[in-house]
């Protein structure tokens, strides 16, 4: 799964990568958590013939998708992730897969290697980032939930798939990454049905990410400094188990409600 990520890129970097006309200025965020506002990229409305306006735009939504048919979101689970393999079959995600696919910019994400239940070993956090730096675009889904009084909340989830070899010793899932050359196809919900973009829902190439062990300070939402990404010595038992596996094969969250 993907339960925390960071976005530390400048607005100028986002404008260039995603071909945007504008994006609001914002501070670097080192510990983005579920239920907090996140930046997403969506396809713009169809432009008039001859228009030179960009075909993408940025907006803020709440991280945690709420389907439009939910009556009371307070009694509905927070859907921060959607399994790419089954999203088109699930009532919560089916409409979004067809009509509201998005990109979620990130500088990387955090993942935890958790020991078996009953073990006295501690969990090890990792900062997973593109090996060559830069911005990564996660595949996501968006839904707008409307209340009885007419107010609306835009919400989103990140699509995940099976982990590649780089991540598998930490966790068996990872976010789906959309490469820049496929941004347009992924966002095009007018002509590209879910079956037409199914090939994009694959693990990232083995050499795309690197996993850096970090301290457990990232566990607390209140910790938001760049020191969260400082490398630490990993737990020795995790290194041993990870190598063996390769050979064999919160609280305090913000809300927009």
Catalytic residues: 2, 111
Residues 6+ apart with CB under 8 A from 57: 20, 21, 41, 42, 44
Residue 77, classified by CB atoms within 10 Å of its CB into exposed (0-12), middle (13-18) or buried (19+), is: exposed
Give the Cα separation of 109 and 129 in Å (integer). 7
Give the Cα separation of 223 and 251 in Å (integer). 12
Q: Tokens standing for 213?
A: 């062990």
Whether the Cβ atoms of residue 62 and residue 155 lie closer than 8 Å to each other: yes
Whether the Cβ atoms of residue 142 and residue 59 lie closer than 8 Å to each other: no
Q: How far apart are the first and last CA of the chain?
A: 24
Q: What are phi and psi of 59, to 5 degrees?
A: -155, 165
Give the Cα separation of 143 and 70 in Å (integer). 11
For 30-44, give one letter per residue: b (16+ CB within 10 A) or e: bbbbbbbbbbbbbbe
Residue 210, classified by CB atoms within 10 Å of its CB into exposed (0-12), middle (13-18) or buried (19+), is: middle
Q: Residue 12: in which H helix or E strand, if any?
A: helix 11-18
């Amino acid at each position: 799964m993907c339960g925390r990520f960071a976005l530390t890129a400048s607005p100028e970097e986002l404008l260039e990568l995603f071909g945007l006309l504008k994006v609001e200025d914002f501070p670097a965020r080192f510990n983005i958590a579920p239920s907090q506002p996140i930046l997403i990229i969506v396809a713009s409305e169809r432009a008039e013939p001859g228009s030179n306006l960009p075909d993408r735009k940025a907006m803020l939504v709440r991280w945690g998708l709420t389907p439009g048919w939910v009556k009371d979101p307070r009694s509905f689970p927070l859907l921060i992730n959607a399994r790419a393999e089954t999203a088109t079959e699930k009532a919560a995600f089916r409409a979004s897969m067809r009509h509201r696919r998005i990109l979620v910019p990130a500088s990387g994400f955090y993942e935890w290697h958790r020991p078996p239940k009953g073990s006295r070993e501690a969990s090890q956090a990792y900062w997973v980032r593109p090996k060559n730096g830069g911005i990564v675009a996660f595949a996501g889904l968006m839904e707008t939930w409307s209340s009885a009084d007419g107010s609306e909340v835009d919400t989103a989830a990140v699509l995940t798939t099976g982990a590649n070899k780089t991540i598998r010793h930490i966790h068996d899932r990872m976010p789906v990454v959309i490469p820049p050359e496929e941004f347009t196809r992924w966002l095009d919900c007018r002509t590209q049905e879910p079956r037409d973009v199914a090939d994009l829902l694959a693990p990232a190439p083995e050499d795309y990410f690197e996993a850096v062990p970090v301290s457990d300070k990232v566990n607390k939402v209140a910790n938001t400094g760049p020191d969260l990404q400082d490398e630490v010595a990993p737990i020795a038992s995790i290194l041993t188990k990870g190598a063996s596996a390769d050979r064999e094969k919160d609280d305090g969250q913000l809300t927009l409600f």
